[in-house]
Chain A
Amino acid sequence: MSRVTRSAATSYALSLAAMEEASRVGLRQADLEHLFLALSISEEPAGQVLRAEGVTLRAAREAIAEHHTEHLRALGVDHEPPAPGPIVFHQTGGYEWSERAQRVITLANKHGSGDAGAVLRELLAEPSGLAAELLARLGTSAAAVTERLEVAERIPTFGSRRAQAGPGAERPGVAAEREVTSPGASPARNQLMRTGTAFVPAPVAELWELLIAAERMPEWDVIVGEVELPAELRGLHPKLGDAWAATARSEAPDGKPMRVRPERRSLLVELTQLDEHSRIEWRMSFPDEPSANTRVIALSLAPAAGGTQLGITFGWQPPADRPAAGPLRRAQRVLLRPALRFVLWLQVAQLGSGISRVFRSA
């Protein structure tokens, strides 16, 4: 992946996570502390290093709250900051970076590669010293984190994981063959597929409870609005091969109605892979539009410091009886490839942030 796409992917992930954190505390401007929190859940080496040093999302949030309470007391204000609420980023708008946080990201692209490691280094070097102070509160130090980051970045597996992070990382259709830790979905003819990784700040067992509960799918999937479980599945965990109906989301999180074509309103969800606490795959088709591609989501779970490393495979699979594409359609596909690659990347990124948000918003 090129440097530009990698830094764009990092910037997207950090901005989203930081602004979601700002939204919890009633702010619309993401500052250094929110960037710090975003780094603590990054799936890149910088995030892994922070968590290995004890900088988990929960610990970092507590350290920041303490920092503010002490500052306010120093001014004679005996007021605890208001208790944070759920993430409301998707119900609100007008978000921006603070000037100093924006400067950190700009410098990370100028001095470094723009990946999360470069952002962390610039955050530790910026003049307010906030990140170093938070690290000290958390029982570690800027020196310890920097040293560990240098070691981590020399390990080749860190590099290859990072290589999947951006929109231009892999060509659709071949990604799964190249990806060693791919969670199962086998690429079929003409399948458009993309893989990626995300960090979820919850233990494997807790994450599994979310994923295996069919009725909780609307909490993390952008398409599924309501799940209609057959009576025999209610209150039970579905088994391999089980299928259930769902309806497509008709309203965006901010209450805006979403336009969904009538034939795409009902969904059929099938559980097509199941390996408890380690792997799960669903296929979603549109019963009212049999010629539509099937949406395939495959997830793999592995324990990691401070939570779970989530492997994500997302794809669209054409129906088996669709005739082979003619020369015109094939040419169109070539032309559309960069756009498709981006859309697939976005789907993977949204799945990762949607699943982890369930645990960050609580």
Chain B
Amino acid sequence: MNIVEASQDAVNATDPRVGLRAVVSLRSLADALEMRHVEAALASGMSWQTIADALGVSRQAVHKKYAKRVDQRHLRVRGRA
């Protein structure tokens, strides 16, 4: 099944409950992907400001959300560099 067909299925779904519950999975996928990409960016030496610009949020917002949550070893390596 390709994405177009799948999207048709989604729109045609008769039970809205299925769609609503599926959104929970989508949200957790988005959270997990965001975390991975922020960690990868920090590991590559990217600044909080650049990450914030790419995500379309303020530096404060991205720092508040991720400073504690990312692997602290990435931050320590940056601190020493």
Tell me whether A93 and B6 are in contact (CB under 8 A): no
Tell me whether B26 and A25 are in contact (CB under 8 A): no
Binary interface encoding of chain A residues 61-74 relative to chain B, with 1 for a CB under 8 A from any of its CBs, else 0 = 00000011001111
A230 sits at the interface (CB 8 A): no
A114 to chain B, nearest CB (A): 27
Query: If A91-B71, A93-B69 touch, does A75 touch B36 (CB 8 Å cutoff)?
Result: no
Chain B residues 17-69 with CB under 8 Å of chain A are: 18-19, 21-26, 28-29, 31-33, 35-36, 68-69
Cα(A67)–Cα(B26), bound, Å: 12
Cα(A68)–Cα(B72), bound, Å: 28
Q: How many chain A residues touch B (Cβ–Cβ < 8 Å)?
A: 28
Tell me whether B73 and A81 are in contact (CB under 8 A): no
Cα(A25)–Cα(B70), bound, Å: 13
Query: A73 contacts which chain B residues (CB < 8 A)?
Result: 1, 6
Cα(A79)–Cα(B24), bound, Å: 15
Complex partner residue of A91 from B2, B31, B32, B73, CB under 8 angstroms:
B73
A31 to chain B, nearest CB (A): 7
Tell me whether B6 and A78 are in contact (CB under 8 A): yes
Tell me whether B26 and A26 are in contact (CB under 8 A): no
Tell me whether B25 and A71 are in contact (CB under 8 A): yes
Query: B6 contacts which chain A residues (CB < 8 A)?
Result: 73, 75-78
Tell me whether B1 and A68 are in contact (CB under 8 A): no
Q: How many residue-residue contacts, CB under 8 A, span A and B?
A: 86
Query: B31 contacts which chain A residues (CB < 8 A)?
Result: 26-27, 29
A28 sits at the interface (CB 8 A): yes
Cα(A81)–Cα(B33), bound, Å: 9
Complex partner residue of A93 from B19, B72, B76, CB under 8 angstroms:
B72
Complex partner residue of B73 from A31, A72, A74, A255, CB under 8 angstroms:
A255
A256 sits at the interface (CB 8 A): yes
Tell me whether A74 and B10 are in contact (CB under 8 A): yes
Tell me whether A94 and B69 are in contact (CB under 8 A): yes
Tell me whether A71 and B72 are in contact (CB under 8 A): no
Tell me whether B25 and A27 are in contact (CB under 8 A): no
Query: If A92-B70, A92-B72 touch, does A75 touch B33 (CB 8 Å cutoff)?
Result: no
Tell me whether B23 and A75 are in contact (CB under 8 A): yes
A128 sits at the interface (CB 8 A): yes
Chain A residues 83-97 with CB under 8 Å of chain B are: 88, 91-94
Query: If A71-B25, A73-B6, A75-B10 touch, does A26 touch B73 (CB 8 Å cutoff)?
Result: no
A254 to chain B, nearest CB (A): 4
Tell me whether B22 and A75 are in contact (CB under 8 A): yes
Query: If A25-B32, A28-B35, A78-B2 touch, does A71 touch B73 (CB 8 Å cutoff)?
Result: no
Tell me whether A94 and B25 are in contact (CB under 8 A): no
Tell me whether B28 and A255 are in contact (CB under 8 A): no
Tell me whether B3 and A76 are in contact (CB under 8 A): yes
Tell me whether A78 and B3 are in contact (CB under 8 A): yes
Tell me whether A72 and B22 are in contact (CB under 8 A): yes
Tell me whether B22 and A74 are in contact (CB under 8 A): yes
Query: B1 contacts which chain A residues (CB < 8 A)?
Result: 73, 78
Query: If A75-B10, A92-B70 touch, does A26 touch B33 (CB 8 Å cutoff)?
Result: yes
Query: If A25-B32, A26-B32, A26-B35 touch, does A77 touch B26 (CB 8 Å cutoff)?
Result: yes
Report the nearest A residue to B77, measured CB to CB.
Answer: A255
A327 sits at the interface (CB 8 A): no
Report the nearest B residue to A64, measured CB to CB.
Answer: B25
Supply 8 A–B pairs (Cβ within 8 Å), ascending by A: A26-B33, A27-B32, A29-B31, A76-B7, A78-B2, A93-B69, A255-B73, A256-B76
Residues of A bordering B, CB below 8 Å = 25-29, 31, 67-68, 71-79, 81-82, 88, 91-94, 128, 254-256
> Other CB < 8 Å A-B pairs besides A26-B36, A27-B31, 8 of them?
A26-B35, A72-B26, A74-B13, A81-B32, A82-B33, A91-B72, A92-B68, A94-B68
